[in-house]
Structure 1
Amino acid sequence: MKKFFKILLIVLLIAGLGFSGKYLIESNSKSPIVYTTEKAFRTSIEEKTVATGKVIPEDEVKIKPQISGIIEKIYVKEGEAIKSGDLIAKVKVVPNEQSLNSSRGRVKNAKIVLDNSKVEYDRNKALFDKGVISSKDFNAINLQYNQAKQDLSNAQNDLQIIRVGSTGGSSTANTNIRATVSGTILEIPVKEGDQVIESNNFNEGTTIATIADLSKMIFEGKVDEAEVNKLKIDMPLKVSLGAIRDQEFDAKLKFIAPKGDEEQGAVQFKIEGEVFLDKSYFIRAGYSANASIVLDSKDDVLAIKEAILQFDKDTEKPYVEIETGDQEFEKKEIKIGLSDGINVEILSGITEADNIKVWNKTEPIKKEAEETQD
């Protein structure tokens, strides 16, 4: 009986070891990754860069007053079309007391001088008519009299300008603010009752309105220093606006800044491009925009997908793996050219006949594969 139990125990132990071994072998074994392959193909490649910026009018004119005062009336609204010479606003003059007092004093002095000159003129005129004095002496007295009259007139005009902003005989009063160009009113930063300052040599003055021709727009953006040397004047651009989807406008590069500005550690260069507008769209000043610039392009070149390209960790040279047998691959260095971010040009190293390993494939999970089959 004891011998039977010993034999049974040995059989159970052997069976247990067998099952354990089988489990360990199955759990440690992994199914091999099956790599797929792709071939090189011929296509066209364009190397592009994108400049971010905005569209603005080619010329903006700021209208400023010729005299200081208070806005009495505004005759236009923002967005309104206007022609050169149209009345924009009227300024009410608030005279400076010191200037006003000085001007009144000059008028009084001019009157005193004129009265004295008139007395001298009348006395010498009577003597000249009697032949007592020569015409030369009389002409000198007459000149002084006429100058005195002119000085009084000038002083009175100056007083009138200080008080109301213009003289009675002026064809265009300084208080009337008129458009100097035709276009659209972009902005009126003042309102009735605001005080404004005249434009002079020491002060640019208060802006009454900003006018621009919205039919002539430019793209203004910035590009990185790594790409600015590839740009050339008159290069074509494709401008897309954030406010108008699925629409691109043709443009032409017309300005590249000679000096860059550092922004967040990178040097950016300003560029400008003339935008050719479509009359069916109304483009507002200040729309955000992106300009796509083709730096270089090639047609009918050998290329592969950039996703299957690899780089050596030590030499940083590009390479791919070429199939030499069933799931057997060989490393092969290549030379690359243009890239559009999806496809990359192959200059040498492989041919269209080579099967290229798609290296970034992962092993499928058995459970997921079974669920897919179900």
Structure 2
Amino acid sequence: MKKNVLKMVIIAAVIAVAVLLAFLLRGNKEVQYQTETAIKGSLSITVMATGYIQPVEEIEVGTQVSGVIKKIYVDYNSHVKKGQLLAELDKLTLQEKLNQATAQLSRAQSELNLANRQYDRVTQLYAAKAATEVAFEEAVNRKEQAAMTLKEAKANLSQAKVDLSYAYIYSPIDGVVLKRSVNIGQTVAAMFSTPTFFTIAEDLTKMQVEADVDEADLGQVKLNQQVTFTVDAYPGETFAGTVSQIRISPKVTNNVVTYTVIVNAPNPDEKLFPGMTASIRINIRSEEGILVPIEALSKEKTLRVKSDGKIEERTIQTGIDDGISIVARMGVKEGEEIIIN
């Protein structure tokens, strides 16, 4: 029995020593904090939107007469000059109309000459009381009718010449052919609307982004604001531009209202092609300063700073934030450790 008591005393002593050691070790353990270093940088508030790359100036070229395409001199991506011949229509029908108008003019001129001679003769007879007043009036009427017929014939001849000139399709600007919509042998009809032969972009080094901005963000967008954007064709590369136009006409898609914002996009290397999808960021405001994590900030604009092994609570003056970081205008220095948790 003495042995059992001794054994129990020894066990109790071991447990007491273990508890004491655990307490001492726990008491000496340092409290760990999750911190983040305050850094100097720039913060921006942006509006994001999606749009498409388009040429600043794009022109559709066609003709005002019907006919059959006889020749095409340019194709996709062709560089053209103002006044350059792009295509021709078959001129057989148009030339025949010109010939007919020329013949009509000759007949009208002959008829007018005859009416003038008759008018002069009847006028002399009427003055000598040898012709009736009715004959005189008929001579005057024939002369006037012949003059009107000649005027109409001249107009028809002029229109036939203009129509023949429309058989030659010229470029109205210097640019690049983006699209060719016709083929040789194709019949085009210009009865109700002008058929489009080519779409020409004036200058591919000057592009623009047509972006749809949500109505909730539009109030923050102003002219000349800086814009950055990316396209899928060049991952990791960022392009720059400025807001040049805010269109007041709304777009409504599935009850969502957006407005078109035009962004000038210089394209000196011609990397940007028409139709590319662009993800844009419009820089609304920017501010440089000391950036601290916004989650470390209390409602009273205070945060805790770990400095020289001590914890200090400071009240700071804040600037803009992006939901993750906030600018500390006063109260924190670069490199200090900000306690998050």
TM-score by length of 1: 0.61
Shift in alpha-carbon separation, 1:346–1:126, aligned structure 2, 3 A? closer
Alignment equivalent of 1:305, drawn from 287, 293, 296 = 293
Shift in alpha-carbon separation, 1:281–1:128, aligned structure 2, 3 A? closer
Shift in alpha-carbon separation, 1:218–1:37, aligned structure 2, 3 A? closer
Aligned letter for 1:304? V
Alignment equivalent of 2:195, drawn from 206, 211, 219 = 206
Alignment equivalent of 2:219, drawn from 212, 229, 235 = 229
Alignment equivalent of 1:90, drawn from 73, 88, 91 = 88
Q: Spell out the pairing of 1:148-187 with structure 2 (5 A cutoff).
A: 148-151=149-152, 153=153, 157=156, 167=160, 169-170=161-162, 173-187=165-179
Q: Distance in 2 between matches of 1:333 and 1:114?
A: 101
1:38 Cα deviation (Å)? 3.9
User: Residues 296 and 338 of structure 2 are in contact (CA less than 8 Å); yes or no, is this contact kept in structure 1?
Assistant: no
1:61 Cα deviation (Å)? 1.1
1:271 Cα deviation (Å)? 1.0
Q: CA RMSD in A?
A: 5.2
Alignment equivalent of 2:74, drawn from 73, 76, 79 = 76
3-state DSSP of counterpart to 2:264: strand
Aligned letter for 2:55? P
3-state DSSP of counterpart to 1:232: coil
Does the alignment pair 1:34 with 2:32?
A: yes
TM-score by length of 2: 0.66
3-state DSSP of counterpart to 2:65: coil
Shift in alpha-carbon separation, 1:189–1:296, aligned structure 2, 3 A? same
User: Residues 82 and 183 of structure 1 are in contact (CA less than 8 Å); yes or no, is this contact kept in structure 2?
Assistant: yes
1:333 Cα deviation (Å)? 8.7
Q: Distance in 2 between matches of 1:144 and 1:228?
A: 66
Aligned residues: 317
Does the alignment pair 1:290 with 2:279?
A: yes
In structure 1, what is the equivalent of residue 262 of structure 2? 272
Q: Distance in 2 between matches of 1:182 and 1:33?
A: 73
3-state DSSP of counterpart to 1:258: strand
Does the alignment pair 1:357 with 2:336?
A: no
3-state DSSP of counterpart to 2:224: coil
CA deviation vs aligned residue, 1:135-184 (integer Å, no higher than 9, x gap): x8666654444444455x369x48xx9xxxx62x4495233232222211
Write 1 or 2 for the structure with the bigger share of strand.
Answer: 2
Alignment equivalent of 1:243, drawn from 220, 230, 233 = 233
Aligned letter for 2:328? I
3-state DSSP of counterpart to 2:248: coil
1:358 Cα deviation (Å)? 3.5
Shift in alpha-carbon separation, 1:171–1:91, aligned structure 2, 3 A? closer
User: Residues 36 and 358 of structure 1 are in contact (CA less than 8 Å); yes or no, is this contact kept in structure 2?
Assistant: yes
Shift in alpha-carbon separation, 1:319–1:176, aligned structure 2, 3 A? same
Shift in alpha-carbon separation, 1:266–1:357, aligned structure 2, 3 A? farther
User: Residues 83 and 183 of structure 1 are in contact (CA less than 8 Å); yes or no, is this contact kept in structure 2?
Assistant: yes
Q: Distance in 1 between matches of 2:92 and 2:302?
A: 80
- Flag structure 1 segments of 5+ consecutive residues without an equivalent: 360-374
3-state DSSP of counterpart to 1:208: strand
Q: Distance in 2 between matches of 1:240 and 1:358?
A: 34
1:267 Cα deviation (Å)? 4.1
In structure 2, what is the equivalent of residue 192 of structure 1? 184
Identity %: 20
Q: Distance in 2 between matches of 1:75 and 1:287?
A: 28
User: Residues 186 and 210 of structure 1 are in contact (CA less than 8 Å); yes or no, is this contact kept in structure 2?
Assistant: yes
1:63 Cα deviation (Å)? 1.6
Alignment equivalent of 1:345, drawn from 317, 322, 327 = 327
